[in-house]
Structure 1
Amino acid sequence: MKLLILGGTVFLGYAIAEEAVARGHDVTIFTRGRSGSGAPAGVRALIGDRDGGLQALKQGEWDAVIDTSGYVPRVVRAGAELLADRIGHYTFISSASVYRDLSKPGTSEEDAVLELEDEATEDVAAHYGALKARCEAVLDERLPGRVLTVRPGLIVGPRDPTDRFTYWPSRIERGGQVLAPGPESAPVQIIDVRDLAAWIVSMTEARRTGVFNAAGEQGRVTMQALLEQCRSALNPSATLTWADEEFLAGRGVGAWKELPLWLPARGDTAAFTGLMQVNVDRALRTGLVFRPLEATIRDTAAWDAARPSDTVRRAGLMPEREAELLQAWLDAGSGE
C-alpha cells in the first residue's frame, strides 16, 4: 500500500508511520519539519505547510491518506481538494472531544457533536472539539464514502509530549510519598499509542469507513488500579497518599494537568468526566486490542528516563507543590 501520512514525526503520527513501515507499506510523510524528533526509519519525508504550503503534495498518488494533523476546517478542505483525485481512502484522526455531552458515561458514535457558533473561527484552543467535528463534516462532504473517522480518547505511551500519563509512572518510580487524587474508584480510560496505531493501520488497509471511538476498554482501569500497577511494576516501596476532591479543589489544585488524569465530578470538569468512559464496542468488534497495562507503564517510564534531564514537563505537580499539599493533608488529620 502506498500511504501518505499528514504528520508522522510526533507521537501518534510517528507510531502509525513506524507500524506501516514494519508491515511493508510504502510510506510518505508530510510535515513542517519543525518537531525536532525526526521521522521513523524507512519513510520518505516531504516538507511543507498544510496552511498555504502544499506544493510538495501537488504530484503523486497514494492508496490511502492518514491525517493526524487536521484541526482547522479550511485547511483540511484545501488538502482534501488537492488530493481527492489521487487517493483512494482517507483516515481522519479526530477526537472524543467532538461530543456535545461528555458528562455521562457510555458516549457512542451516534451521540450529537458540537457545532461552531462562529463558522469563521479558527481558535483551536477555545473550540478544539467543535473544529474537529467540522473537519469531519468537511471530509464527508468532499470525499463521500471514502472516509474513516477515528475519535480517540486519552492516548498514552512512549513519545507522549503532553506528560498527562507519563507523570504517574515516573513519579512513582522516583518513590517516596506520592499524592494521589481520590476517589480511588474513578475510571481511567487510556489507550497505548502503539495499540491505536496498529488498529488504525489495519482499518486503513481494509478501507473501512464510518466513525469509531478509539479508547481503552470502558471500565477496565480505575485510578487506584493504575497507580497500584505503577507501584508494582516500578517501585513497590513508593506509598500512595489519597486526598479527596474537596481538599484538592479547596487548595486550587489544577485538574488534568497539575494532577494528570484527575477529573473532579464537580466544577468545570464535571461536564467532561465521561471522557474517561466512552463506548468503544464498535472498535472492539473490528479488532481493537490492548496490551497489558504493565507493558505501557514500563515502556513509558523507560522512554521518559531516557529524555534529557532538563526536559520541561507539561503536566504534573512540581515536587515542592506536592510536598506542600501532602503536609497540609496530613496536618488536617485526613491522611491517618
Structure 2
Amino acid sequence: MKILILGGTVFLGRHLVDAALARGHEVTLFHRGIHGKELFPEVEHVYGDRTKDLSALEGREWDAVIDTCGQHPKHVRSSARLLSQAVKHYTFISSISVYAEFPQPGMDETAPVGRLTPEQLASTENSATPSMEFYGQLKALCEEAAEEEMPGRVCNVRPGLIVGPYDVSDRFTYWPGRVARGGEIVAPGSPDNQIQFIDVRDLAEWVLHVAETGLTGVYNATGPAEVLTMQQLLEECKTVSGGDASFTWLDDDFLTRHEVGSWMEMPLWIPASEGMPGFLSTNIQRALNAGLTFRPLVTTIRDTLAWDRTRPPGERRTGLKPEREAELLAMKP
C-alpha cells in the first residue's frame, strides 16, 4: 500500500513508519521539518504546515492516510477535503478525552462527547496549537469534520494514554524509571485502582491494520485486555528493574490534602474527588473484536526503561520531584 502519514516524526508517527516499512508499505511523510527531519531517509518527506498550506499534497494519490496530528477541526476538514479524491481511507487519531464526562467504568463509544459553545470554538480559531482546555472537544469536532468530508471512509481511533519508547511526556515513563532507582516510593491511591494505557507499538500495528482493511467507525483504543491495577504495574516495574524498591501507599485524601497534582505530578493517579471513575477503565471490546492485541506488560516496561536510560540526565516533564517525594514520605500517617 501507499500510505500518507500526516506528522510521523515524533512519537506515534515514528512507530507507524517503522511498522509500515516492516510490512512492506510505501510511506510518504507530510510534516513541517521541525522535528525528526533526519529520520527515515528511505521514505519520501514532503514539507509543509497543515495549518497554512496543503498545496504540496495536491495532484498526488495514496491508498490511505493516517492523521496523527490533527488538533483543530478546520485543519482536519481542510486535509480531508483535499485528500477525499486522493485516498480511499482516512484514519484519524483522536483521543478518549473526547467524552463529555467519565461518570462510570466501562464507558463505550456511544457515550456523549464534549461540546463547545460557538464562543469557545471561535476563541480557538487563530491558534496553530489550540489550548489544552478544549483538547477533547476539539478532537470530537475533528472526528466529525473528517467524516463529513469523507463519509463512510473514516476510522476515528480514540487512544487512551499512549506509552513506550520516545514518549517524552513521562506520564508512564516516570514509573519504570522511579522504581529502577529503588528506595521507598510514594504509591498513589489504592493498590487495586484500575489503570489503562496502550503501548505505542501495539497502537501503531493496529492502526496499520485499520488502514489495510479499510475499517471504519469509532473505536476506543487503550489497554490491556484484562483489568490491570496500579499495584500490578509497580510490581512488574520492580521485577524488570530488579531493584530494592518498596511502595508506601498514600491514599487519595492524604495526597489531595497535601496538594499533590493528579496525572502530571502523580502519573496515572486521578483521585475519586475529581469524579472521573471511567477515565482509566474504558470499554475497548469493539477494538478487541476488530483485532487490537497487546504485547506483555513486562516488554513495555523493559523497552521504555531501556530508552529512558539513553536520555540525558535531568528533570523529566512529569512525576514527583525527589525532594517532594521525601517531604510526603516524612509526613505519612
Q: Is the Cα contact below 8 Å between 1:155 and 1:192 reproduced in 2?
A: yes
SS of 1:256's partner is coil
Kindly indicate whether residue 121 of structure 2 is the aligned counterpart of residue 114 of structure 1: no
Unaligned runs of 5+ in 1: none
SS of 1:42's partner is coil
**Distance in 2 between the 1:115 and 1:305 partners?**
41
SS of 1:85's partner is coil
Aligned-residue offset at 1:217: 3.1
Match of 2:150 in 1: 143
- Cα shift readout 1:112-134 (whole Å, capped 9, x = no counterpart): 11112123232431111110101
1:58-137 map, 5 Å: 58-118=58-118, 119-122=121-124, 123-137=130-144
TM-score of the superposed pair, with normalisation by structure 2: 0.95
Aligned-residue offset at 1:236: 3.9
- Cα shift readout 1:29-52 (whole Å, capped 9, x = no counterpart): 111121247434532111110111
- Cα shift readout 1:143-176 (whole Å, capped 9, x = no counterpart): 0011011001111111112100000000000111
Match of 2:311 in 1: 307
**Distance in 2 between the 1:218 and 1:187 partners?**
12
Match of 1:166 in 2: 173
Kindly indicate whether residue 283 of structure 2 is the aligned counterpart of residue 274 of structure 1: no
* Residue type at the aligned position of 2:279: L
Kindly indicate whether residue 304 of structure 2 is the aligned counterpart of residue 294 of structure 1: no
Aligned-pair identity in percent equals 52
Match of 1:180 in 2: 187
Match of 2:258 in 1: 251
Aligned-residue offset at 1:111: 1.4
Aligned-residue offset at 1:18: 1.0
Aligned-residue offset at 1:57: 1.2
* Residue type at the aligned position of 2:278: G
Going from structure 1 to structure 2, the CA distance change for 1:64 and 1:223 (only over 3 Å counts) comes to: same
Going from structure 1 to structure 2, the CA distance change for 1:107 and 1:218 (only over 3 Å counts) comes to: farther
Unaligned runs of 5+ in 2: 125-129
- Cα shift readout 1:243-284 (whole Å, capped 9, x = no counterpart): 111111111100001110001001xx32x3311111000110
Q: Is the Cα contact below 8 Å between 1:172 and 1:235 reproduced in 2?
A: no
- Cα shift readout 1:201-230 (whole Å, capped 9, x = no counterpart): 011100111111100036521001000110
SS of 1:259's partner is coil
Match of 1:47 in 2: 47
* Residue type at the aligned position of 2:28: T
SS of 1:224's partner is helix
Structure 1, 142-151 or 106-115: larger mean CA deviation: 106-115
**Distance in 1 between the 2:279 and 2:226 partners?**
12
* Residue type at the aligned position of 2:169: T
**Distance in 1 between the 2:172 and 2:253 partners?**
23
**Distance in 1 between the 2:6 and 2:204 partners?**
14
**Distance in 2 between the 1:134 and 1:121 partners?**
15
**Distance in 2 between the 1:9 and 1:237 partners?**
37
Q: Is the Cα contact below 8 Å between 1:93 and 1:152 reproduced in 2?
A: yes
* Residue type at the aligned position of 1:94: S
Root-mean-square deviation (Å)? 1.4
Structure 1, 279-288 or 234-243: larger mean CA deviation: 234-243
Structure 1, 76-85 or 21-30: larger mean CA deviation: 76-85
SS of 2:272's partner is coil
